[in-house]
Amino acid sequence: MAYALQQLINGISLGMIYGLIAVGYTMVYGIIGMINFAHGDIFMVGAFVALIAIVMIVSGGLMEGPGALVLVLAIAMAFTSLYGWTVERVAYRPLRGSFRLAPLISAIGMSIVLQNFVQVSQGARVKPLEPQVTGGFEIMRDGDFAVQLSNMQILIVCTTLFVLAVFTWLVTRTSLGRAMRACEQDRRMAGLLGIDTDRTISLTFVIGGSLAAVAGTLYLLRYGVIDFYIGFLAGVKAFTAAVLGGIGSLPGAVLGGLLIGLIETFWSAYFSVQYKDVAAFSILALVLILMPTGLLGRQEVEKV
């Protein structure tokens, strides 16, 4: 029981990170209907920018404590969202209106570019970072087994909930969010009604990039080891989460992320660690085969 509770805590904190990345996928898919394959690598860039910022600010002794972490997060969000914007501007915008596979290939190319750019510029070796957030609580004890809730996990959950709350406000209450939802429903009509669709799409990538940066920073702080390749698997799992929740649905992405995190954690804890990716992918295949629109997705009506 205590063991399961511990896994639940671990699973939720992992799932929150997946959820943050998944929102970026689902948003882009909703608005321009393409798999932004480079999004996982944007997450990786976010983790690297955060690493550089931490080494500069904390290890360099400029600042300490929670203030420094907020600053690191802000820096990571600013630079990473610029990467998101650039990727859209360079690789996707020229292909708008082209046939559907073109942006997908371009996105795969961009993903290769980002990975190898970071490999060349930052080196192929893994970067270990000493823990920045330590300590925690013991919330339950069952015999020898103590259920730990670390400060890091609290930080992950609180940050994610805060960021998602801001994001939800942005999408549901602001004129930008209204424009985004309009573009999602019918881009051409939204354009005719005076919405700058190019700008809206760019801003979508900026928001997606900054959410990925939050995820990257939290991932770095939680696991302490990153390399240029972390984006691929995290990206695929987050996309899985987005599809699981019903692609295009924002609450669905977070729900899917949580589910993938929980499935992966429980599978590793009770069955085998090696096959944890197989578990996540099998669940994806099963869900799609049984309900092809995902958990919270809209049923698509096909017009002939």
Residues that bind another protein (CB under 8 A): 29, 34-35, 45, 48-49, 51-53, 55-56, 59-60, 79, 82-83, 86, 90-91, 94-95, 98-106, 108-113, 115-125, 127-130, 232, 236, 239-240, 243, 247, 274-275, 277-278, 281-282, 284-285, 288-289, 292, 302, 304
**Least distance between another protein and beta carbon 275 (Å):** 7
Question: By C-beta, is 127 or 222 nearer to another protein?
Answer: 127
**30 vs 177 by CB, closer to another protein:** 30
Q: Are the C-beta atoms of residues 205 and 87 closer than 8 Å to each other?
A: yes
For residue 137, the tally of other CB atoms under 10 A from its CB is 12
* Cβ nearer to another protein, comparing 132 with 148: 132
Outline where 92-174 has alpha helix (H). 101-122, 151-173
Using the minimum distance from each CB to another protein, give the nearer residue, 157 or 283.
283
- Residue closer to another protein by CB (options 9, 95) is 95
Taking the complex as a whole, the smallest distance from the CB of residue 274 to another protein amounts, in Å, to 4
Q: By three-state DSSP, how is residue 50 classified?
A: helix
Quote the CA–CA distance of 250 and 242 in Å, as a whole number. 8
Sequence-distant (6+) residues with CB within 8 A of 199 are none
Q: How far is the CB of 166 from another protein (least distance, A)?
A: 23
To the nearest whole angstrom, how small is the minimum distance from the Cβ of residue 28 to another protein?
12
Shortest CB 285 distance to another protein, Å: 5
CB-based contacts of 104-110 (< 8 A; 24+ apart in sequence): 104/34, 104/35, 104/37, 107/34, 107/35, 107/36, 107/37, 107/38, 108/37, 110/37, 110/38, 110/41
